[in-house]
Amino acid sequence: MVLHDSRRHDAVRILAAAAGVVLVEAAVAVSASSLDAGLLAFVRVTARTSLVWFALAFAASPLVALRPTPASKWLLRNRRSLGLAMAITHGAHLVGISILAARHGAAFWSAIAPSTLIGGGLGYLILAAMVATSTDRSLLRLGRRRWRALHLTGMWWFWLIFMATYSGQLAHGVFAWLATAGLVALAGLRLVVAIQRAARARLTRGSRSPRSAR
């Protein structure tokens, strides 16, 4: 009961923090010298805060596997809430984009590559599916294998989106370099864990196989 209450309180704090950050970003955008400048800043900053929440959720499992510290265990225990926080900020990101699109119409859409529209649109559909299934009841209804396939696919899809976005902005500032390096490191963490698990699985299979060579 104590652990359950602690997890619930952590979830409330995480989601409140995500909502609070969005409200601060919106207030800054409204106070900008022009509406367009404020909207552009809002879209840019919500994308960056989405990346932070995503990175925390994405890193949770491999960090616990490699180094089970209290901090990494806290991340894993609250991974669902961290993912929902990312959904809040990324939803706000979509609101900012939608307002810009409504203001500028065809000129706005012509400046966006079709691959960005397709990848981003699919990303939001996947994100909606992940949010809709982010409950224990959904896990039981879908089954662990299908639930895990959906959420793992979604996590890697957003890794690709963030990677494509920030690796394409390396000439525009330090944040793009930090984001790209961080995303590469996150993928590296998961690769190391996958290699370790595969090696343990081979050893387990080997220890269970008949010793016919004797």
Has residue 214 been placed in a domain? no
Nearest to 55 by CA among 174, 191, 190, 170: 190
Residue-wise pLDDT tens digits, 110-132: 888 888 889 999 999 999 999 99
Residue-wise pLDDT tens digits, 151-190: 999 999 999 999 999 999 998 889 999 999 999 999 999 9
Range in 42-46, 55-59, 103-107 the model is least confident about: 103-107
Has residue 51 been placed in a domain? yes
The 3-class SS string of 126-172 reads HHHHHHHCCCHHHHHHHCHHHHHHHHHHHHHHHHHHHHHHHHCCHHH
Has residue 213 been placed in a domain? no
Has residue 188 been placed in a domain? yes
Has residue 157 been placed in a domain? yes
Q: Looking at the 3D structure of the chain, how many domains does it have? A: 1
Report the predicted TM-score, pTM, of the whole model to 2 decimal places. Answer: 0.89
Sign of CA dihedral 193, 197, 203, 206: negative
Averaged pLDDT for residues 45-72:
95
Sign of CA dihedral 120, 122, 128, 133: negative
Has residue 10 been placed in a domain? yes
Has residue 135 been placed in a domain? yes
- pLDDT value of residue 58: 96
Has residue 156 been placed in a domain? yes
Full residue range of the structural domain in which residue 171 is found: 2-208
